[in-house]
Every structure is written in C-alpha cells, then in structure tokens.
Amino acid sequence: MFNSWIDRGEELRSAFYAGDPFPLLLIDDFLDVKTAEGLLEEFPAPDAMPKSRDYMFGDKRELSSVAEQGPTSRAFYDALMSEQFKCFICQLTGKDLIVDPAFHGGGFHQSGDGGHLDTHVDFNMHPLHDNWLRTLNILLYLNKDWKPEYDGRLLIKAKPDDEPRAIEPSFNRGLLMLTDDHTFHGFKKMSLPPGVTRKSIATYAYELVEVGSTVPRTTGWAPEEGNVLKKSFARHYNTAVKVKTRFFGSATARNR
C-alpha cells in the first residue's frame, strides 16, 4: 500500500525538521495507484458528510468513520494503525507517537465551491484523553486534475502575519506536519465548477504526556478576512468552546 518511503523514517528525519516554515514532509505518490484510486472511488458524497461545526471560520464537511466506507478505506485505516506506520512516524519525528484510532477531528474532509478554512493552529490535547498531546498531522490529498484557478492551496506559516508557503492539494500527495502553537494553516475561498470538490483524508498522531503538564487549547483561529465581529469572536473562541464542551461535550466527536 505505502510506497518505499515507509522504510526510510530515520533517513527522512533531517528533511522533516528542515521543513519550511516548520517541520514537515511532503510525499508525492504516497500510496500505490490502485489504493489511491480506490479511496477516491469510496470517498463519500458531500451530502453524506456532516458539516463542520466551525462554520464561522470554515466551510467544509467531515466524516471520521473511514474504516466503514468500503474495503479500500478499511485497508487504508488498518495500514495507518499498523506497527509499520507507527514505526515510520516515530523514526521520522524521534518521538513515541500513536495514531488516534477514532480519527477525532479527522477522516474524510471535503469542501465545495466557496469552501474555505481560515488560518488557525489546531487543538493540542485530545478531548477524550487528557494525556494525549497532538503532535503530528497526517494528510492525504485526493484531487485529480486540480487547476490553479480553483485555489484551495494549503497555506502554512509560523506566525499569523508571515507570508505563507502554498502547497497544492494534488492527487495522492501526502503531507506530514508538526502541529503546535506555531503551525498556522488554512486555505482561501475556492472557485470550483459543478461536481468538483476539494478532498482529503486526515488523521493525527499523539504523544503521551503527564496529565496536567500541558494547558489544553482548542483550535486557535487567526482569520485574515472577515468583519470585526468575526475577528473578535476568534480571540475569545477558546474560552467559548471550553464552556460549551463542559456542558455539552465535543461536537466534533459526533461527525461520524
């Protein structure tokens, strides 16, 4: 399923930590062609995927139940859970990591015409495991014949005011990137023809830490566009989510 990079974790570590503008590794031909094509065939229709609840800052659909969408999706899920993949990401980062089997906040992601995702840094602690520190984002893009005029490039930067690096969401392109307080990313509003959507599969790897050693933080939004109300809400979003989660639980966990 995985191509030859899977056995080169230690060899690729220096390239990962030399990533611009923060540690990352781009891998084209992430999977063998048959598997990549199979995932695209099994990719859920937009109407079968719940909308993200971060609607003020993005317009996308999410479905975390990857293993339930078909035989290729199940095989891909099993490969990400395998000892072989765990060994690779541990060697790549030099950290003892585990991939979240529930794909909390991950899974199939899809955006249509007008879709966007405001600049942000990700939540750091797993909402259901208070000793899981999110450390690595693992993304696979599944967009055939993606045209520059569509936009939808992933924009990444270490500070909100930095000039971003742009990464095309090309078919069968993998991206492994560090996630912390300084790994800002998002994509601008897209202009897509009928029937075209931006598709990706995401999962996240965690490091086990001592309970209470890290202050939990939800997604930190830094929108570049929008009105004063939106930007003001972004500054207070973390507090609002803490209150909501305390009383109602995590809404993201229901996107299955």
Going from N- to C-terminal start, the domains of the chain cover: 4-215
User: CA 87 → CA 4, 69, 79, 81, 170, distances in Å?
Assistant: 14, 26, 12, 11, 26
CA–CA distance, 88 with 106 (Å, rounded to integer): 20
Going by their DSSP bridges, the two strands 107-111 and 220-221 should be labelled as: unpaired
What is the predicted pLDDT for the residue at 179? 97
**What is the reported pLDDT for 59?**
79
- Alpha-carbon distance values, 186 to 18, 73, 105, 137 (Å): 21, 25, 15, 13
Q: What is the largest CA-CA distance in the chain?
A: 49
Place of tokens 């800002």: 184
> Would you give per-residue pLDDT tens digits along the chain (256 residues)?
999 999 999 999 999 999 999 999 999 999 999 999 999 999 999 999 999 876 555 678 999 999 999 999 999 999 999 999 999 999 999 999 999 999 999 999 999 999 999 999 999 999 999 999 999 999 999 999 999 999 999 999 999 999 999 999 999 999 999 999 999 999 999 999 999 999 999 999 999 999 989 999 888 988 766 544 444 444 544 554 444 445 445 555 555 6
Q: What is the 8-class DSSP label of residue 42?
A: H
Helices (H), 139-178: none
| CA distances in angstroms from 80 to 74, 133, 217, 219, listed in the order given | 10, 18, 26, 24
The alpha carbon of 241 is separated from its chain's Cα centroid by a whole number of angstroms, namely 20
Closest by Cα among 178, 189, 251 to 21: 178
CATH superfamily, domain at 4-215: q2cbj1_9rhob like domain (2.60.120.620)
C-alpha span between 81 and 63 (Å, rounded): 18
pLDDT of residue 165: 98
Tokens of 226: 């929008």
- For residues 170 and 176, give the distance between their C-alpha atoms in angstroms, rounded to a whole number: 14
Bridge-based pairing state of the strands 97-99 and 198-208: antiparallel
Return the pLDDT at 230.
44
Radius of gyration of the chain, Cα coordinates, nearest whole angstrom: 17
- What residue has token string 């056995």? 7
